[in-house]
Structure 1
């Protein structure tokens, strides 16, 4: 079962990063492999959303419930799709004016052992690329930090 963790200190506030991660409807604009998203319901504390991910001819849709604790935490609860199990969380820790630490963790298993074996070699790099895409998007939305 892949378990991937990534932690980064960023020149953006915890609130800015929380807003960016919570905006699931815009994921297809900047996240690699996200083909489409559909938000079924959304409130201050909870969202239900579908996400279509794909690479070349492969396409898979999954549904998640997103629990939001503004501005410190987002926890994703897997509802339905091609996985047996998915746990995904984001923690946003303020480090001072306009700075925060993000901690991202994802833990999952595929229903297909063959697919898990095939994908296993690429998943760590893919998820790190995904976290980098959030960082790049923050720069686009909030401006690049001063050198």
Structure 2
């Protein structure tokens, strides 16, 4: 499981600040404001600020974990199937892989070779708001999938692994625009479950930093909720495709 990520599928919306209300006329009463969290985040995204300011907090990481009753190869294939994201991920309304890796041998030693997604376009919608973005994807077959976005986003894979896979940390021509994020790295790790043979331990880590520090103060709880929703959606998708043991 970039430039802005699918795998990363966190709602990101930008809305202009609302105009000031007109002066209250005699015998009129102002209507109390009931701004939803989404509107608040949209407004904060337009406030002055930059990720390089002294008040900019360090990146934050949110983790979620599942042990799933299916082999790692199946769970990895599910996460790597970016084209299908719009069919089951919350808020993802469109998903399409636009670039693939060169074919590589399969891990079982078979004669077939397989390509993995290297870049994808995604559209996220939340209420009346939508945003389209591009994700850079880094796939270590049946082990790790990373999606990277934002001008400060870099994969966490080491240089040796990137070279072995024929990948660059920042591919030439990559779209580095990150919307409200200065950096966003979504990392999936899958492997055999430690306690149950034939099952999979899947861990999702989302490391992010907002371009506007003020936005980060208001959004942390919302991001926590969305990460949990995302991993739950993958668990439900696995049950739908592979059944329940």
Q: State TM-score, norm by structure 1.
A: 0.89
Q: How much is the aligned-residue C-alpha RMSD, in angstroms?
A: 1.7
Structure with bigger strand share is: 1
Structure 1 consecutive aligned stretches of length 4 or more whose deviation exceeds 6 Å:
none
* Residue 103 (structure 1) shift: 1.0
Structure 1 gaps of 5+ residues are none
Distance 1:2 1:62, change over 3 A: farther
Distance 1:15 1:134, change over 3 A: same
Equivalenced residue count is 145
* Residue 114 (structure 1) shift: 4.4
Checking the alignment, whether the CA contact within 8 Å between 1:60 and 1:81 is kept in structure 2 is no
Structure 2 gaps of 5+ residues are 1-58, 102-114, 150-175
What is the match of residue 66 of structure 1?
137
Distance 1:57 1:110, change over 3 A: farther
* Residue 107 (structure 1) shift: 0.8
User: 1 CA distance for matches of 2:88 and 2:214?
Assistant: 29
State which of 35, 38, 56 in structure 1 corresponds to 2:93: 35
User: 2 CA distance for matches of 1:21 and 1:40?
Assistant: 16
What is the match of residue 130 of structure 1?
230
User: 2 CA distance for matches of 1:137 and 1:34?
Assistant: 14
Structure with bigger helix share is: 1
Q: Is 2:22 the counterpart of 1:22?
A: no
**CA shift digits 1:73-113 (9 cap, x unpaired):** 11112243312101111111112543010011011122234
Q: State TM-score, norm by structure 2.
A: 0.55
